[in-house]
Amino acid sequence: MKVHLTKKTLNSNLLIFRNDRKTIGLVPTMGALHIGHLELVKKAKESTDVVVVSIYVNPTQFNNPADFEKYPKTLDKDLEILDKIGVNIVFTPENQEIYPSNPKLRLNFGLLEEVLEGAFRPGHFNGVGIVVSKLLNIVKPDVAFFGQKDLQQVAIIKRLVSDLSFDVKIDVVRTVREADGLAFSSRNMRLNPNERMAALVLSKALFFAKSELLRGVDWLTVKNQAVQLFESEPLCRLEYFELVDPNTFKILESFNPRDLSSICTAAYVGEVRLIDNLPIID
C-alpha cells in the first residue's frame, strides 16, 4: 500500500495504473474508519482495479469549530486497517495541500441545501461540494463510492457531478448498522456507554415509522409518535424527523407507496450530533 501526502506523488503513482488501463475507484473519508467505511472499500475492490482511499478531515464543511476540533482522528490505526484489507493507495494530505489559499468560490445547491442538514448546518454543503470537487479533480476516479447514511450529501454530490459534468460514476452503498440497529458512524466513538444506549432511539424511530407507513398509518400520525420516542429519551434532543424525496429533498406531507421516499433524522445525544435515514421502499 502506498501512502501519499501530496497531489504530485499521488498522480505519479496513479499514472502507472492508468497507462495499464486500470479502472480507479475513490473512497473519500475523514478517517476514524469503521465497518461502514470498509463496506465502501469492499464495493470499490469488487468494482474497480485500483482503490484509492482519501483521509482528510475537511475544515470547510464544519459550521461548528468545536465539532471540528473534537472529530476523532485515528490515522495510524486507519492506515493499519487499510493495509490489511488490501487498499492500493491512501491519500492523506495536509490542509495546505488541499487549500493553498482560502477558497472564494461559493456553491449553491438550491433546495437541497436549504432543508434538513442544510438548514441546521449553514455552509456545510458548500464545504462538502468544494472538497469533493477537489478530490475528484485530483484523483480522477472512474467510480467514487459514498455511503447511503449521508443521504443528503449523496444528493448534493450527484447534483455536483451532473451540473459540472464530472466524468465519474457515483456508487451509493447501503447503510451498515451494528447488531442493535445503530448506524455505524465515526462520531459513535465519542458516545459514553449511556449515550450509546440512548442513541438507539434514532434507528428505533426510523424502523418503527417505516413499519407503520407500510401498514397504512398516515405520515403525520407516524411522525408524532416517532417524536414522542425521542422525547422519552432524556439524553436525546431531536432536530428533525422528516419524510423526503431522496433525490430533490423536498419535504413530503404524506406517504405514497408509488413514489420514492426516505425518512431522515438528526438528533443530539449528549453533545454528539448523529444523523440517520431509512428508505421506505428499497
State residue 63's pLDDT score: 86
- % of the chain beyond a pLDDT of 90: 97
State residue 64's pLDDT score: 86
Q: Specify whether 76 is located in the same domain as 191.
A: no
CA distance 30 to 21: 29
Looking at the domain assignment, is residue 180 inside a domain? no
pLDDT tens for residues 28-39?
A: 999 999 999 999
pLDDT beneath 50, residues of the chain:
none
Strands (E), 116-227: 143-147, 169-173
Q: Specify whether 141 is located in the same domain as 73.
A: yes
Q: Specify whether 146 is located in the same domain as 261.
A: no
In single-letter form, the type of residue at position 203 comes to S
Q: If we measure between CA atoms, which residue out of 226, 209, 206, 220 comes closest to residue 251?
A: 220
37 is catalytic: yes
Q: Give how many domains the chain has, as a whole number.
A: 2
Looking at the domain assignment, is residue 42 inside a domain? yes
State residue 74's pLDDT score: 96
User: Of residues 4, 37, 124, 134, which has the active-site annotation?
Assistant: 37
CA distance 125 to 106: 10
pTM value is: 0.96
The phi, psi pair for 213, rounded to 5°, reads -65, -40
Q: What CATH number corresponds to the domain at position 37?
A: 3.40.50.620
State residue 281's pLDDT score: 86
pLDDT tens for residues 41-74?
A: 999 999 999 999 999 999 999 988 889 999 999 9
CA distance 26 to 142: 8
By residue range, what is the domain housing residue 233? 186-277
State residue 282's pLDDT score: 74
- Which residue matches cell numbers 480507479? 24
